[in-house]
Amino acid sequence: MIFIDACFKRSTPTAPVWLMRQAGRYLEEYRATRAKAKDFIDFCRRPELAAEATLQPIDILNVDAAILFSDILVVPLEMGMQLEFVEKHGPILHNPIRTQSDLDRLSDHSVDRLGYVYDAVKLVRAKLDQKKALIGFAGSPWTLATYMIEGGGSKNYAIIKKMVYSQSELLHKLLDRLSRAVGGYLLRQIEAGANAVQIFDSWGGALEKSAFFEFSWRYMLQIADRIKAEYPKIPIILFSKGAGCYLENVSGNFDVFGVDWNTPIERAKDILFDRYALQGNMEPARVYSKNAIEEGALEIARVMGKENGYIFNLGHGMQPDFSRQNAKYLVDLIHETFAR
Amino acid sequence: MIFIDACFKRSTPTAPVWLMRQAGRYLEEYRATRAKAKDFIDFCRRPELAAEATLQPIDILNVDAAILFSDILVVPLEMGMQLEFVEKHGPILHNPIRTQSDLDRLSDHSVDRLGYVYDAVKLVRAKLDQKKALIGFAGSPWTLATYMIEGGGSKNYAIIKKMVYSQSELLHKLLDRLSRAVGGYLLRQIEAGANAVQIFDSWGGALEKSAFFEFSWRYMLQIADRIKAEYPKIPIILFSKGAGCYLENVSGNFDVFGVDWNTPIERAKDILFDRYALQGNMEPARVYSKNAIEEGALEIARVMGKENGYIFNLGHGMQPDFSRQNAKYLVDLIHETFAR
């Protein structure tokens, strides 16, 4: 699998490519699969539908890795959060965590309740081309905590940040529980057949530097250590959105650093590439235009084109209004441009 | 004025302090002034009310500079945008700019229509202690354009980014017009008595590096050049939120670089302090807790404490749920900690 080889900086015939949120609404096939489910949570809970959505971009785009179709919020859901996805608004968690007693009500059995995800992993791995990797994933403890504490998405993270600076003990208790839940969840995905795992820290950049390492990065490394102890040959990708100014202090036992589009790839290369493989980081909005795709691809090729240990991706997820033709054009162009 | 001295890196008895959005809802006095106006736009348009709000934090917090109370969207408003501020939602612009003909309908006379702002500046300057500076301000062309094109606040900036990558000519035309309007607007604020000006580029960080310099920074510098040509002794502060990874390419004819909380102050110092004064950058959420204020102040003092050319500020604005006691505590603590 060229994706796995690149994660470990072994030489590959070209740069492997996958796209964050490659299984998504921009594909009519995805929308058709989605329509078979009662709602978004039902979609996540039905392994055959999740597997179908996971496999679609492999056939359509010829990407080198599948990423399991699911949502990071299934972990809080199975810990007992009352989760609802509201059309054109996003997730709402109706019983946000604000006190110790809220925390006490959370279940410790989410790992066992997430069987539908492991079933989806098995279904995908059984059908997926042996040359293609299947990436399992989870949200970072910090990112999950933002939803659980704020009660949904947030602009200023006022409630959780107040906790960071005036109730950090309670927050650490929640993050510790999430860290154990997420670690167990990823181990079970690996046991079910995932070839690599990525932790999505979508809101790590909501924290200033010192707080980022204390409340987010540290827990991601706890999870990475636990996985590495059991599965040293499974690559671990960490992706923290908005942490580009903090790279100088990044360290730990993982394999691939996911670079967001806000962080110049040269900067990530200078600071991290001697220790980690890099994944990323084309500005997603470039997918709107073939010219912009070409320009972005050439710029990244100038920096990473000759290196082993580079995985092409966007610097954030695919958007619903992106064109599949342009996405396909991008994948082919990268395979061609980075061919040795 | 110690604020002006610090902008030009002259020695001062302590670090001057002001807080972004220091005139805001966290003050009951502000809420009382606000209640006298019909709505938020009426508030901005009534010089005596704007002056009142501007002066409140001077008396209450003892900050070293007043920043004119207004909103960056008065410029689009007076260019003909149908602006509405919706409670608990934010601004909506009902006639967004999407085409050349939308652009053609914009007025070139906004600078003359903003007389109420210049009147507020005069009222404030007449009443303000001579030792305190009055800062005029405007939104950056890029940041104003995000509202005008998206039709309000945005999460992904999908519409304007599509324009960045596939209709850049139209976007540059808008940015050029905004640049002229904002430049004229700031010049008139200076003529009315503003002692310094700050350009707020709240959404500059929505752009990847190359696009940031092409679509945002370049227009801020155009405005700065125009002001410097007429008023070389008026300090210019540029504040781009989320551009911390781009500092290596920052240059131009301005005086103070505003550092956001996402950018480590040491990084800003290493890269920019030989050429610019620095302003910032305490994480605003630290204001929730006196301990967190102390810790944040000491950390900044460790880096900037002995330097001329440093202005204390938060790394973003004050929030409605902040406490005035803590804000006052912060201002006093900084004056004391940075005293030479």
Which segments within chain A are labelled E, that is strand? Answer: 65-67, 83-86, 90-93, 133-139, 196-201, 236-240, 256-259, 277-282, 310-314
Alpha-carbon distance A332 to A310, whole Å? 16
Residue B153 has pLDDT above 90, yes or no: yes
CB contact under 8 A, A208 and B158: no
pTM: 0.97
pLDDT, tens digit, 9 for 90 and up, residues A121-130: 999 999 999 9
Q: What is the maximum span of chain A, computed from C-alpha positions, in angstroms?
A: 58
What's the pLDDT score for residue B306? 86
Helices A47-61 and A28-35: angle between axes, nearest 10 degrees: 170
Q: Mean pLDDT score of chain A, rounded to an integer? A: 97
B225-228's contacts with Cβ under 8 Å and 24+ in sequence apart are: B225/B252, B225/B253, B226/B183, B226/B187, B227/B183, B227/B186, B227/B187, B227/B190, B227/B197, B228/B253, B228/B254
Q: What tokens does A254 get?
A: 């993982």
Length of chain A: 340
Query: What confidence tier does B166 reach under pLDDT thresholds 50, 70, 90?
Result: very high
A296 token code pair: 């972005």
Using 50, 70 and 90 to split pLDDT, how confident is the model at A209?
very high
Omega cis (within 30) before B313: no
Give the dihedral sign, CA A47/A48/A50/A51.
positive
How far is residue B254's CA from residue A268's CA, in Å, rounded to a whole number? 29
Question: What's the pLDDT at A70?
Answer: 98
Q: What are the strands, taking DSSP E only, across chain B?
A: 65-67, 83-86, 90-93, 133-139, 196-201, 236-240, 256-258, 277-282, 310-314
pLDDT in tens, B254-284: 999 999 999 999 999 999 999 999 999 999 9
Q: Smallest CA–CA separation between B323 and chain A, in Å? A: 12
Residue A91 has pLDDT above 90, yes or no: yes
Instruction: Name residue B145's amino acid.
Output: A
Kindly state whether B241 is in contact with chain A, defined as any CB-CB distance less than 8 angstroms.
Answer: no
Portion of chain A with pLDDT greater than 90, in percent = 98
CB contact under 8 A, A166 and B292: yes
Mutate to test the interface with A, among B156, B162, B165, B203 (most CBs of A within 10 A): B165
> Is there a contact between A292 and B166 if contact means CB atoms under 8 Å apart?
yes
Please give, rounded to a whole number of angstroms, the shortest distance from the CA of A227 to a CA of chain B. Answer: 30
Inform me whether the C-beta atom of residue B266 falls under 8 Å from chain A C-beta atoms.
Answer: no
> What digits encode the pLDDT tens for the residues B74-84?
999 999 999 99
The conformation of residue A82, written as its DSSP 8-state character, comes to -
**Contact (CB<8Å) A208/B283:** yes
Q: Answer for the pair B3, B65: CB distance below 8 angstroms, yes or no.
A: yes
> What is the rounded CA–CA span in Å between residue A117 and residue A307?
35
Angle, to 10 degrees, between the axis of helix A158-166 and the axis of helix A168-192? Answer: 110
**B283 touches A: beta carbon within 8 Å:** yes
Query: Confidence class of residue B87 from pLDDT cuts 50, 70 and 90?
Result: confident
3-state secondary structure labels for all residues of A203-272: CHHHCCHHHHHHHHHHHHHHHHHHHHHHCCCCCEEEEECCCHHHHHHCCCCCCEEEECCCCCHHHHHHHH
- Say if residue A306's pLDDT is above 90: no
Q: Is B107 left (phi over 0), alpha (psi -120 to 50) or beta?
A: beta
A286-296 residue pLDDT tens: 999 999 999 99
To the nearest whole angstrom, how far is the Cα of B265 from the nearest Cα of chain A?
10
Chain A residue with the nearest C-alpha to that of B157: A285
Structure confidence at residue B145 as a pLDDT band (50, 70, 90): very high
- Mean pLDDT to the nearest integer, B165-193: 98
Q: What is the pLDDT of residues B185-213, one digit of tens each?
A: 999 999 999 999 999 999 999 999 999 99
Rounded Cα distance between A320 and A35, Å, is 15
Q: Which token pair is B234? A: 């008026």
Q: What are the chain B neighbours of A263 within 8 Å (beta carbons)?
A: 245
Strands B236-240 and B256-258: parallel
E strand map for A122-176: 133-139
CATH class of B2-337: alpha beta
Residue-averaged pLDDT of chain B: 97
Letter for the amino acid at B69? F
Segment A136-178, tens digit of pLDDT? 999 999 999 999 999 999 989 999 999 999 999 999 999 999 9
Asked if B244 is an interface residue toward chain A (Cβ–Cβ < 8 A), one would say yes
pLDDT in tens, A25-66: 999 999 999 999 999 999 999 999 999 999 999 999 999 999
B329 interfaces chain A, CB cutoff of 8 Å: no
What's the pLDDT score for residue A88?
A: 85
Angstrom CA distances, B175 to A33, A292, B76, B103, B164, stand at 42, 20, 12, 11, 11
Record: contact B262-A164, CB cut-off 8 A:
no
CA of A49, closest CA in chain B: separation in Å? 28
Give the rounded percent of residues in chain B with a pLDDT score beyond 90.
Answer: 98
User: Looking at the predicted structure, is the pLDDT value of residue A131 above 90?
Assistant: yes
> DSSP 3-state assignment of B137?
strand
